[in-house]
Structure 1
Amino acid sequence: MNIPLNSERSTPLWKRPGGQVSFLALGTFAVGTDAFIVAGFLPQVADELGVSQSAAGYSVTVFAICYAVLSPLLAGITATVPRHRLLVAALIVLGAANLCTALAPNFAMLILSRVFAAVGAAAYTPNAGAVASSLVSAERRGRALAVVVSGLTVATAVGVPLGNLASRLMGWRSALGIVAVLSVLIAVGLAALLPRIGGGVKVPLSQRLLVLSTRGVRRILLVTVLGMAAAYTAYAYAIPAFEAVGVSVSTVQWLLFLYGVGAVAGAQTSGRLTDRFGGTRVLIVGYSVMFLTLLVLGLLAVTGAMIPGLVGVLAFTWGASSWCQTPPQQHRLIAVAPDDAPLVIALNSSGIYVGIGLGTFIGGLAGHGSAVWMFLSGAVIAVIAGILSWSAGRSAVEPTG
């Protein structure tokens, strides 16, 4: 359902498609904050609940795995639910799950609450992207998707630092309580602002997943997995990775901030460039930048050279190249399978989290302290992702503005 822009000129700014898309991005910010904030206070969670820090880290793993599995399943189960109701309900579930996490008396209950948080997140993010693309004209679709993704990129950048700061100021339980309140407030806002958007046709999941038989869809999703894996071979181990290139622990948060600024800039810029040049060209440039960034960081780690200014620039380009991927990938998927937009975006979201898990696993193979392996393995995977992206682009037909 595309809403003509001209019909919106007489309505308040926040009720126009641009304002509605921005509010959808607030929802992805809440989802992303929920996903990453826990990593900022894992030591406190571990101490209070009587588990090791590595065990506490499983709460992040459980969320990611459940999100990846549930995203396509929920796309099929909720196919007929009106989109505006589904988005509001998803955020309410996310808020309730965060409240349960904040009140969890033991580790088992905390893990269970993370499963329910993944349900809300998996129902929200793909549908937010699909709704955003339906609210605007075709030539503005890439920008709308970029705005929605920017909520996640901002949360990715500030989630860990905010979690660490909040845990010191008010405790980790209060920090999660704030995320719960934020989720509910955004849900109320969406209920008031979004137009009534109907659901689709009920189709068995097995039949819906036939979209994976489309060669272009499979190739594009593989690019998503590998691209995110390349980006995350070192990110989960940011502190030892940056220490290996001469950054002190007290300065790491500033590097993560630069990464976050780059992530937002990359997502926003790639959306506009995708509208103009198409997703494949944008991705080739993005993976080239990612390769060079990780290669130089790896060389700095090998030589022991300490060039703080260069590392700051590389942190920015790392974030930009990591998060420039999602808008063009979603754009290409919708172009290949326009009748299954919510489902393919859901599958892409699953691919993002599978890639994050794969990259984190690969980065840790040589031990958390092996920054050279983290950076260089990511650089190699970025090259593979770039080659596959070009190959997938040859069979994809995507409109450009």
Structure 2
Amino acid sequence: MPAWLFALMFTTFTFATDDYVIAGVLPAIAADLGVSEAAAGQLVTVFSLAFALGAPVASVVAARLPRRRLIGGALLVFVAANWAAAFTESYPLLMALRVLAALAAAAVVPAAYAIATALAPEGRTGRYLALVMGGLTGSLALGVPIGTWVGGAFGWQATFGLGGALGVVALAAVYGTVPELPAAPAVPMGERLRPLARPPVLLGLLGIVAIVMGSMMVLTYLAPYLRDLAGVGAAELGWIFVLAGVAGFAGGHLGGRAADRWGADRALLAGVGGFTAVMAAFTVCWFVRPVPLPALLPLLAIWAAVSWWIPPPAQTRLLAMAGSAGPQALALNSSAVYVGVSFGGALGGVLLESWGSAVLPAVAALVEVAALLLMWAAVRSAGRGYGVAASVPGGRVGG
């Protein structure tokens, strides 16, 4: 694999660590800033919502900028936002800095996916996208545990300092390895937005929102859920994130290979079905609590694997449907992911405050059933045509 691909993977690793690490230091932030755990969880929500709104706008506004220059400038903003967060003691100011960091990430992530897609050899698009997205799962295996341990040892502010340092390393890696690609050709605004109006794309995007929403309802509040279910503390939580990250990386790789070999639709449906089954198993576990942590580890590993199996075939599918508007489709996909993250954090916070952590997996399972129905409808509508591309490298879409 080329070095530039790993530089892009490290960049997504940096952004995902910055977003997900809140789950590891959430109790400390809540106690230090004098807010509830549910309110601290909204730092994940606001980051994700800002990303969701910013990604499609950035894909249009910055379409004429060279990709490497765009990534470099956005990383500088990201570093500044994180280092400023390391010195704040104000919840509203911290919230504003999270928005700024998210907007920087929103400019970079779709560009990274577009570079991987443009430079991927024939028949390896799914695997290249899976590697770039491997930074997201790698953040669970390395970034979030390290950030959690740093926060426990030096305070949660040090966690944001670490995020800024990772941004500096990502900036150096991008400029040292990523080839400069020419700016995208001028495309009318209507054509850029047209993929959203196609029924298969719209249904697929709604399905992605539901998929991620169900996952993030549990991930954002994993610390209080595992505390209530199995008496898990901060030390054990760090190792659980390691396990989830390793399993998620493997799941993402397998999902990319499945998209190239089976076709995107079959790979997607397999992943969503597996996720729903795991959430149902977590729901059953609540009724036999306390559950020994070793007994939960296989379920946590399967949950992480199927969660990260899904995005590579989802992106491959959207690329096929969008045709020449692929970069905009990738931005819309990124937005759908972070809309799901923000909705999952918000709904999970409401459930946690109102009914406690017990209901999180059960509601997440219901959300995943809705996602499965949306994906099925997307497959059916794509099979009827609607002017979308019929295939992608390595796998058939829409049938």
TM over 0.5: yes
Contact 1:128/1:148 (CA < 8 Å) preserved in 2? Answer: yes
Deviation at 1:295, TM superposition (A): 0.9
Q: SS of the residue aligned with 1:138? A: coil
Q: Aligned runs of 1:17-28 on 2, under 5 Å?
A: 18-28=2-12
Q: 2:197 aligns with which of 213, 218, 227?
A: 213
Structure with greater contact order relative to length (CA < 8 Å, sep ≥ 6): 2
Contact 1:25/1:151 (CA < 8 Å) preserved in 2? Answer: yes
Contact 1:31/1:121 (CA < 8 Å) preserved in 2? Answer: yes
CA distance in 1: counterparts of 2:34 and 2:227, whole angstroms: 29
Deviation at 1:44, TM superposition (A): 4.1
Contact 2:140/2:244 (CA < 8 Å) preserved in 1? Answer: no
Deviation at 1:232, TM superposition (A): 2.3
Contact 1:39/1:163 (CA < 8 Å) preserved in 2? Answer: no
Structure 1 pair 272–195 and aligned structure 2 pair: CA distance change class (3 A):
same
Tell me the residue number matched to 1:5: none
Residues 365-384 of structure 1, C-alpha deviation per residue, up to 9 Å, x if partnerless? Answer: 44356444211222222222
Q: SS of the residue aligned with 1:226? A: helix
Deviation at 1:53, TM superposition (A): 4.8
Q: 1:380 aligns with which of 351, 366, 371?
A: 366
Contact 2:125/2:393 (CA < 8 Å) preserved in 1? Answer: no
Q: 1:84 aligns with which of 63, 68, 73?
A: 68
Within the alignment, does 1:255 sit opposite 2:248 as a pair?
Answer: no
CA distance in 2: counterparts of 1:345 and 1:355, whole angstroms: 15
Residues 290-325 of structure 1, C-alpha deviation per residue, up to 9 Å, x if partnerless? Answer: 121111111121233735444111100111111111
Tell me the residue number matched to 1:100: 84
Q: What's the Cα RMSD here?
A: 2.4
Worse overlay, 224-233 or 386-395:
386-395
CA distance in 2: counterparts of 1:334 and 1:222, whole angstroms: 16
CA distance in 2: counterparts of 1:392 and 1:122, whole angstroms: 26
> Could you state the TM-score of these two structures normalised by the residue count of structure 1?
0.88
Contact 1:28/1:152 (CA < 8 Å) preserved in 2? Answer: yes
Within the alignment, does 1:155 sit opposite 2:139 as a pair?
Answer: yes
**Structure 2 unmatched ranges of 5 or more:** 384-389, 395-399
Q: Percent identity?
A: 32
Worse overlay, 356-365 or 113-122:
356-365
Within the alignment, does 1:336 sit opposite 2:335 as a pair?
Answer: no
Structure 1 pair 206–116 and aligned structure 2 pair: CA distance change class (3 A):
farther
Q: SS of the residue aligned with 2:287? A: helix
Tell me the residue number matched to 1:10: none
Deviation at 1:157, TM superposition (A): 4.8
Q: SS of the residue aligned with 2:316? A: helix
Deviation at 1:86, TM superposition (A): 1.1
Contact 1:271/1:328 (CA < 8 Å) preserved in 2? Answer: yes
Worse overlay, 123-132 or 282-291:
282-291
Contact 1:298/1:371 (CA < 8 Å) preserved in 2? Answer: no
Structure 1 pair 234–182 and aligned structure 2 pair: CA distance change class (3 A):
closer
CA distance in 2: counterparts of 1:311 and 1:349, whole angstroms: 31
Worse overlay, 196-205 or 42-51:
42-51
Structure 1 pair 242–178 and aligned structure 2 pair: CA distance change class (3 A):
closer
Q: 1:293 aligns with which of 275, 278, 285?
A: 278
**Structure 1 unmatched ranges of 5 or more:** 1-16
Structure 1 pair 181–292 and aligned structure 2 pair: CA distance change class (3 A):
same
Q: Aligned runs of 1:127-276 on 2, under 5 Å?
A: 127-203=111-187, 205=189, 207-249=191-233, 251-276=236-261
Within the alignment, does 1:367 sit opposite 2:348 as a pair?
Answer: no
Contact 2:44/2:342 (CA < 8 Å) preserved in 1? Answer: no
Contact 1:239/1:252 (CA < 8 Å) preserved in 2? Answer: yes
Worse overlay, 351-360 or 151-160:
151-160
CA distance in 1: counterparts of 2:270 and 2:229, whole angstroms: 25
